[in-house]
Chains A and B, each alone.
Chain A
Amino acid sequence: MKKKILRSGRPLMAALIALSLIFQSGCGFKDIDKRIFVLSIGIDHTDNERKPFKIILKLAVPSGSLKQSGTKYTYLTKESESLASAIRLLKTHVDKEIDFGHAKVIVFGEGILHHDLREVMDFFIRRRDIQRVSWVAIGTPTAESILKAEPASEMAGSHALFNLFDQNGVESSYIVSTFLFDFRRRVLERGIDPILPNISSSKDKMKIIVNSSTLLANSKKPLKLTPQETKLYNLISNNVQRLDLIIKKDKLLYTVSIDSAKTNFKIITNPKHRPVIKMDVTMEGIIEESNQHMDPQKLNLYSKHASKEAEKNITAFLTKLQENGADPLGFGVRYEATRLHTKDTFKEWKKLYPEMTFDVSVKASIMSTGIVE
């Protein structure tokens, strides 16, 4: 009899431990129907000195069936002196727990750019539930107008802004995608400057356009880049593989579609010569459009024209960056990465950068004239 009791001791113990899980009532877990998910967060500047921040949250309204109800969003806005307190207050505006786990786009209004970016960004990088892989962008004229735009092509369950930056849906050489962690390191690091895509929306709020970008060189005014410059930036920072080049030579006008591109650069400082940044770009592509008959035997010549054109454009772009003291490509970091560190490395670089000359050599090779000659 006694042996029997002993044998049943272990299972009993195990059962007791398992049963103790019942006491875990206050776990704080909330069911999914008690949560509402934030899709994107926007921050605008108000003119009110006391409450400079205006926060806008775009929330996905949960619905029973997608087919019936289509896409529905709701918005929350609040002005406050700190983002955290605004969000605490916004919690009282909805009947559910606000969940930031799926917030993937953060939009800064243009007005906020004059603020110290560290201060604005702090909330996002300090909180645990905001993804470090969410995209950061600038909304013109305000973040609110971007968030409230509902493009006609937007489908239920797939937010238009996500598709624009994720290189799965839209693949474009005009779009710069900047992750939050990338933005952070560019803001804090010396020798590399943040660059953010610019989103604008049409007046009827049915369209969202992203094709330009803004450079935020530290302690300088934001510098807007045109779509063409944005494309060049994407090319030389190895962000994109596919892009198009338009080449005009005498009467011949043709477009080359590049499908693979690679850029390397080197900083050469020699006491005898002027310091130079040597940039090599190799591209490969085919002709996409032309206003004249293309001779396949002259492909080499066409390639040469294309290289010349690209060299000219890139040099002009780099010079513009240099004149504005902006460095989104990380020349400064490269300088520090190739010279043994001393106290003055970065000071040297700051003196050197305005004097730099650019030696860009592009090697474009056009492989085909397309389906027709």
Chain B
Amino acid sequence: MSRYFFYLVFVNMIANVVASVPKILISHREDGAIVSMILSFFSGLVFCYIVTRFFNLFPGQGLPELTRKYLPRWVSFPVLLLIAGSWYIAGLITLVTFSFLLKRFLTPDMPLPWITSTFLLFLTYGILMKSRSVLYTIEFVLLCCLPIIFVITLKAYTTPELRWDFIKEAVMHIYHVPDFSAFSASTYLLLGGFNLIIFNRLFKREQHINWKNMLFIGLAGGASLVTTYFVPIGINGFESIGGIVYPWITTSDALRLEFFVVERVLYIFLLLYLAISFLSVLIHWHVTLELLKSIIWFKRLRWKKRNLTPFLFIGLFWFVSLEIVTYLTEYQLIEYTRYFLNYLLCSFAVMFGLFLFIKRRAEV
């Protein structure tokens, strides 16, 4: 597989920390988080494999091209609209969560709409870029961030303050029945491959995902899943982690790089995740925009030879984000994220149905 495919998968794995996934998992630590994680690990890998195999059959074609070719419009329109909606919300959740984080930790004196607007300004430029440029951006930013993320993770595992007893105590709760919310939250980590619905347009050469690729994704996914859940517990204690709103932020604040430029890891961590969450929103919203462009296109809406339809969507993106960010409270955000992740997992049933249908029609 092309290396760009792996970047898409990795961004989701890393960005889950700001998407309330750890909070949801930890809230189920006494009723089935671990079994859910194990189950979701395998199902996530299977999902990832299915979607990649499917798109490998159609090199250079995204989902909109396929639906146009093989499906009647009255089916493809609502389905694509639905998918675009889910992708938009996925980006929105990251955006809102990170705006809240910035407001809480980095720029407490700045009004929330301002923070979001600054974000949106750069995102607007980003999502209007060509898909190819988006991939290049992802590669560059991710390669800059990964080493630092690696160092921080290593630091978290090696610090003497990480009490393995707490982690083992968490493992002792293994026998509980899995919980659906925990399951869908941890599956989210491995869903990055689904961005192929647009980005497959760029993978023009014939590609095949093999077991080595899957092993690589499995290892990385397993490691990030385990880290996401267990490190905050090891640092903050098994019971007392429950009262913490942002488990990973508090965890990063408990680390101390004594001889580094900045002693408090929290600030490095926040800046790092500023970049990562930007990438995450960029990917999700770029997909949303491309999907919307493929189903809604006003030919007449032109100004100076430029079609203004994308700007119409961008305006909508701005409006909704600014409304939501001022409306939601932190608690609601986590609750709604939970609902959304549950819904997302169910909606993949529709997605797979679609894949099966297209595959039959295409007879490949």
Interface size on B, residues (CB 8 A): 38
CB pair B160–A238 under 8 Å, yes or no, is yes
CB pair B110–A28 under 8 Å, yes or no, is yes
CB pair A17–B121 under 8 Å, yes or no, is yes
With beta carbons under 8 angstroms apart, the residue of A132, A179, A187 that contacts B250 is A132
Contacts of A188 in B (CB 8 A): 237, 239-240, 243
Q: Give bound CA distance, A286 to B197, whole Å.
A: 67
B173 within 8 A of A: yes
Nearest A residue to B104, CB-CB:
A128
Contacts of B359 in A (CB 8 A): none
Say which size band chain A's interface belongs to. 20 to 34
With beta carbons under 8 angstroms apart, the residue of A29, A182, A186, A339 that contacts B172 is A339
Contacts of B258 in A (CB 8 A): 166, 168
B41 within 8 A of A: no
A131 within 8 A of B: yes
Mask of B89-129 contacts with A, CB within 8 angstroms, 1/0 = 00000000000000011011110001000000100000000
A68 within 8 A of B: no
In the complex with contacts A27-B109, A337-B165, A185-B253 CB distance below 8 A: no
CB pair A131–B239 under 8 Å, yes or no, is no
CB pair B250–A189 under 8 Å, yes or no, is no
In the complex with contacts A132-B250, A179-B254, A337-B168 CB distance below 8 A: yes
Q: Give bound CA distance, A340 to B171, whole Å.
A: 8
B175 within 8 A of A: yes
Mask of A166-194 contacts with B, CB within 8 angstroms, 1/0 = 10100000000001011011111110000
Quote the shortest CB–CB distance from A28 to chain B (angstroms). Answer: 3
B238 within 8 A of A: yes
Scan residues 323-373 of chain A and give those whose CB is less than 8 A from a CB of chain B: 330, 333-334, 336-341
- Other than A133-B254, A133-B256, give 10 A-B pairs with Cβ distance below 8 A: A28-B108, A28-B110, A132-B253, A179-B254, A181-B236, A184-B236, A187-B240, A330-B163, A334-B165, A337-B172
Q: List 27 A-B contacts (CB under 8 A).
A: A17-B121, A27-B109, A128-B104, A131-B264, A132-B266, A133-B264, A179-B161, A179-B254, A181-B161, A181-B254, A182-B161, A184-B237, A185-B166, A185-B235, A185-B237, A185-B240, A189-B239, A330-B165, A333-B165, A336-B172, A337-B166, A337-B167, A337-B171, A337-B172, A339-B172, A340-B175, A341-B169
